[in-house]
Amino acid sequence: MKTIVLSLGGSILVPSLETNALASYAATLVRLAERFQVYVVVGGGEARRYIGCARALGVDEATLDEVGILVTRLNARLLVAALGRAAYPRVPENYTDARVAGLSGRIVVMGGVTPGQTTDAVAAVLAEEIGADLLINATSVPGIFTSDPKRDPTARRYETMTPGELLELVGRERMNAGSNTVIDLVAAKVVERSRCPMIVLEGRDPSRIEDAVFSGRFIGTIVADGIDRPLPL
């Protein structure tokens, strides 16, 4: 069975506790799991508010990251609850435990692992460790752009790019103060060395992920060496 790792932004899954997409995502993930082994790495979303609260108390950045990690794990726990028996019941806190959880054949859901990165990096490392066939990054923008499309109206989307081009773009962007790249640098580096194909798409509507996986139809960016549409699954 082929394996998919999904990096699911917290702002997509749980924009707020009142407006969450937990039930609709659970239904999508169950359908994906009928055909694939599925691992999900959930982001923080509201983590920003907790981090802001702790920062105002003068807490150091590494401890703020620890606060963020706890929120990602809490969101992961909510998704496990929404998935019911389809999910492995525990949220793994490291990659080895995630691999062991995967042996159950159930959907594995985890959050952050270590300070200094985001859950995109966790998903990239997990994809590398388990030899995933596809890494999907579901985020709030429809792909990877030449610059931040939320700020720059002339930003153009990449249909495809190589992992080397992604690394170059992310490295360049980070030198500009206030820039907000869609993929973090650690994730870009791991994608480059693992050669795991990645797609980046706007994920507010979970049916877009099913369309991408089952029919290869999506608006977004493929990051891979020498692979063009349709998807490599």
Using CB under 6 A as the criterion, which residues of the chain lie in contact with ligand UTP when the complex forms?
9-11, 43-45, 47, 65, 68-69, 72, 112-119, 122
Compute the distance between CA of residue 231 and CA of residue 212 in angstroms, rounded to an integer: 8
Residue with Cβ nearer ligand UTP (31 or 55): 55
Peptide bond into 92 cis (omega under 30): no
- Collapsing DSSP to helix, strand or coil, 147 comes out as coil
Residue with Cβ nearer ligand UTP (68 or 92): 68
Residue with Cβ nearer ligand UTP (157 or 204): 204
Write down the least CB distance from residue 37 to ligand UTP, Å: 22
Write down the least CB distance from residue 81 to ligand UTP, Å: 19
Write down the least CB distance from residue 11 to ligand UTP, Å: 4
Other C-beta atoms closer than 10 Å to the C-beta of 42 total 32
Residue with Cβ nearer ligand UTP (65 or 192): 65
Question: Pairing between strand 220-223 and 198-202?
Answer: antiparallel
Write down the least CB distance from residue 130 to ligand UTP, Å: 17
Nearest residue to 70 via CA among 107, 39, 45: 45
Q: Which two tokens stand for residue 6?
A: 């999904």
Is the separation of the CB atoms in 203 and 209 below 8 Å? yes
Residue with Cβ nearer ligand UTP (9 or 142): 9
Compute the distance between CA of residue 76 and CA of residue 20 in angstroms, rounded to an integer: 13
Write down the least CB distance from residue 138 to ligand UTP, Å: 9
Q: Which two tokens stand for residue 81?
A: 């609850």
